[in-house]
């Protein structure tokens, strides 16, 4: 039996992303296909093991808290006015979080904030050129 159709749906099933009819169809198949039933059980076991792992607390490296405090004490007080450079980097970080990125071929990504930045820079150059060119044109135009 070609089970590939159902195998593709097992992940969607465990994620709760199948519709009612698709669930019924898969469950009917599972009732007489031990291979697919075994695969469903294995996916469940993997997810169970990963979730159990995620509930465990790993021991941080020795003196980790002291190292964090040494760096935190160099920071300006929380909520105090930030240095210009930090304000710029925080704003860029915020924009990155909010705007996301555009996927490119090859798994690369183009941050939307960069596109906006280039657009603004291009607009500034065009406006500057236009103003300068326009003024020179007016100066050269005979009355």
Partner 1 sequence: MATSNLHKWASLPDPSSADLARATEGDAQAFKLIVERYQGMVYSVAYNVLGNRTDAEDAAQEAFLRCYRKLPQFRSEATFSTWLFRLALTASVDYKRREKRHPEPVETPELVAEEAPELGEGVDAATIVAALHDLPEDYRVPTVLRDVYGLPYQEIAEATGRPLGTVKVMVHRGRASLRLKLRAEGAGPEQGLAGARPRSDA
Site for partner 1 in 101-140 (CB under 8 A): 101, 103, 107, 109, 111
In whole angstroms, the minimum distance from the beta carbon of 16 to partner 1 comes to: 5
Taking the least distance from each CB to partner 1, the nearer of 79 and 142 is 79
- Residue among 68 and 123 whose Cβ is closer to partner 1: 68
Q: Which of 19, 20, 65, 139 binds partner 1 (CB under 8 A)?
A: 65
Give dist(CA 142, CA 53) in Å, integer.
81
| Residue pair 7/39 in contact by the 8 Å Cβ criterion | yes
Burial of 32 (0-12, 13-18, 19+ CB in 10 A): exposed
Q: What are phi and psi of 5, to 5 degrees?
A: -60, -45
**85-to-46, 88, 115 alpha-carbon distances in Å:** 45, 5, 21
Pattern of binders to partner 1 over 1-30, x per CB under 8 A? xxxx--x---x--xxx--------------
Residues 6+ apart with CB under 8 A from 39: 7, 10
CA atoms of 141 and 137, how far apart (whole Å): 6
Smallest distance, partner 1 to C-beta of residue 2, A? 7
Q: How many residues bind partner 1 (CB under 8 A)?
A: 54
Residues at the interface with partner 1 (CB under 8 A): 1-4, 7, 11, 14-16, 34-35, 38-39, 41-43, 45-61, 64-65, 67-69, 71-73, 75, 77-79, 90, 93, 97, 100-101, 103, 107, 109, 111
């Amino acid at each position: 039996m070609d089970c590939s159709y159902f195998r593709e749906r097992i992940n969607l099933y465990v994620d709760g992303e199948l519709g009612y009819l698709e669930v019924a169809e898969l469950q009917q198949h599972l009732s007489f296909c031990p291979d697919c039933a075994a695969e469903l059980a294995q996916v469940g076991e993997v997810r169970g093991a990963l979730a159990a792992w995620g509930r465990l607390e790993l021991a941080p490296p020795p003196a980790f808290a002291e190292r964090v405090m040494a760096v935190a004490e160099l920071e300006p007080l929380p909520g105090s006015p930030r240095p210009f450079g930090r304000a710029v980097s925080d704003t860029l970080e915020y924009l990155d979080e909010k705007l996301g990125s555009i996927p490119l071929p090859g798994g690369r990504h183009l941050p939307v904030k960069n596109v906006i930045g280039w657009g603004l820079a291009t607009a500034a150059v065009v406006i500057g050129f236009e103003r300068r060119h326009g003024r020179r044109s007016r100066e050269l135009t005979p009355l």
